[in-house]
Structure formats: C-alpha cells, structure tokens
Amino acid sequence: MPKPSLLSLKHWFVPHPHNDHRPHLIRAHGLALVAMLIIGIQITANLARPAGIQALSQGNVLAYATDITPVDLLTQTNEQRAANGLPALKLDARLNQSATLKAQNMFAEDYWAHVSPSGIQPWYWFTQAGYPYSYAGENLAKDFDTTAGTIQGWMNSPGHRANILNANYTDVGFAVQNGTLVGGQTTLVVAHYGSVAGVSVAATVPAATPKPTVKPAAAPATPVATATPAAPTATPSPTATPSPSATPHPVVATGQITPSAPAPQQYSLFKPLSIIRTLNFGTLVTLGLLIILLIVYVTTHLTVWRKGLGRWRTAHYRLFAAAQVSGLAIAIVLLAISGFGKVG
C-alpha cells in the first residue's frame, strides 16, 4: 500500500500527470473546503474576541472585526513611552469620558477633524468631563483592525508620536466606538492625553508644525484609518471652563507649543511586520489561505502553458485562468490593506 502523505499532498497542491495537471485544491471539492475553512475561521475569531469587543459590534450593519480595547491601547502606549525612557500614563476615568463625548459628537455631527462643524474645540470635552487640565492633547484613528495597528499608525506620524511621547502628560483616556462617519462604517478611536493643573511635570514640547485648514474630511473611496493629533495645549487657569468655541491659550514652557494639528497624509503600513501587527488573526489566516490558493493556480496554469497542453490552446481556458489569478490577487491586496490607516 503506498504511503498517502507526500502522494496526497502532491495530488492536492502540485499539478502533475496523475491528477491531470489539476490539483484537488482548485477543483470544486477543494474550493468548497477552502470556503468552509474561511467561514469557520471567521466565526471562531469573532467568538474568541473578548466580550467587551463583541459588545461594540452589537446593533451595527457591519460585523466589525476590530480587536481594539482601551486596556490594550493603554498597555501599548506605555510600552512606547517606556522604550523612550518616559513614565507610564495612568488611565483616567474623566479622560475616558471626555474621549467618549468627543467620539459621540463626531458621529452626531458627522465630521473628521479636531474642531466640529459647530466650532466645538476638543478641549471642551475635557472640561465637560471635569478634568482640570494644564496640558491636553488628542489623537484620533479609524478603520484599524487592531490595537497594534492603531498605535503603529500614530507612531508613524511625527505629530501623533509627539502626543504619545510627550513628557508633560500624566494621564490618558480612550474611547472605541462603532458607527457611520463621513459616509462609511468605521471603528473610531479617540485618545485624550492630559495632566491635571498644579501637577509638576517636565516640559518637553514638540517642534511647531504647519497649521492646516481644519475641515471635515471628504469620504474616501477606500477605507482609510485617520489619526489626528492635537499638539499639547492648555488653559492658563484650570478653573476656567471654556465655551465650546473657545480656543485655549498655550502654557508658557521651554520650546514652542502649536495648537494646530499636522496636515492629513497617508502612511503606508505595507511591510510584512506591519501587516502582521495591523490585521487580526482571522484576517491573517484567511489571507494565508488565499495566498496558497493563488500559488496553486499560478503553478497550475504555468505548467499547462509550459507543457503546451490542449486546454491552454482554447481562449475560454485562458480567459478563465486570467480571471482566477487576477480575482485572487485583488482579493489578497484588499485584505492586506484592510487594516491600514491614514493619519494627519
């Protein structure tokens, strides 16, 4: 009796005369198996997500597959600070509330910017949550699959990196909200950084950045993830409550404080390590299966062409081969970029 191991694998993955140069993986039963595997992986990945993440997906049109949580955002933010010799930030309930209020306002007024169309500055939400800040900053992100992808997107942008690594901040709060923003379903992440008035911290201030015109961003053609930081600013008096349209005055410190955000720009995460960090487990496994399928298709069609087999001489087969390879390639690229972001 022949050994089934290598022989069976060869039948499934390698075109050769004994399988009529049609590996079982790209036949009907093989494709059905791949489809069932992908469905099973997606279901398992969703069920394996923490209850808090699953709750974010309830009542929405899309089945959100993000693995972003405030706890993970805090952990990975502090990992970046520790790597740069900075003390850890503390999660503050008031900043969690201010970030949540900002996220809800962005969905309500349907905008993607620091300042709302009605003129509400981000610092307004700090005071609404009862946080008497001396320094304050904001980062935004959307459309990311994972916490690691969100943090990586911010760290790739000088303005956002400056907020994460600002020595003036002692506290942070996060909001992770699902909804429709600027015409697309998204997971919105808001990070509010701050220090309470009267608390003495080292004044490390990022260099000034050009001031852009702040307008709600137009809806992109493809999913983008935008992270928009505000450089650290503060009110001169912690007891003063600014009106929604008030612009806080910067605290005098060594260096220059810029109250404006960097102009939006795209940051590509298309690197092997970044893809692993940006995409969740279910998407990564699905991507791997599609890549294997693509390799088998390409190998098969090249073998049929090289050997000059009769099926390659028919236009129908050549068109079908081109459709298979190009369709899979497009699906792989779309999956690979699904967790990428745009920061500004």
Give tens-digit pLDDT for 151-171.
888 888 888 889 999 999 999
Q: Residue 336's pLDDT is what? A: 76
Higher pLDDT: 23 or 66? It is 23
243 pLDDT more than 60: no
CB 213 within 8 A of CB 131: no
Does 234 have pLDDT greater than 60? no
Choice among 86-90, 135-139, 226-230, 320-324 with the minimum mean pLDDT: 226-230
pLDDT number for residue 329: 92
Q: Which of 64-78, 80-94, 192-206 comes out lowest in average pLDDT?
A: 192-206
Average per-residue pLDDT in the chain?
74
CA distances from 144 to 24, 176, 287 (A): 36, 11, 17
Average pLDDT over residues 231-239: 35
Q: What is the pLDDT of residues 253-299, one digit of tens each?
A: 222 233 444 444 444 454 555 556 667 777 788 888 999 999 999 99
What is the rounded average pLDDT of the residues 305-321? Answer: 91
Q: What is the pLDDT of residue 110?
A: 92
Of 247 and 28, which is predicted with more confidence? 28
Token pair 């009769």: residue: 310
**Inter-CA distances, 89 with 79, 169, 236, 238, Å:** 10, 7, 23, 20
User: pLDDT digits over 3-60, tens only?
Assistant: 545 568 888 999 988 888 999 999 999 999 999 998 888 777 667 655 544 444 444 4
Residue 307 has pLDDT above 50, yes or no: yes
Residue 132: per-residue pLDDT: 93
| pLDDT computed for residue 342 by the predictor | 55
State how beta strands 171-181 and 226-227 pair. Answer: unpaired
Confidence of residue 340 (pLDDT cuts 50, 70, 90): low
Residue 96 — very low, low, confident or very high, per pLDDT cuts 50/70/90? very high
pLDDT at 198: 65
Q: What token pair was written down for 82?
A: 């520790």
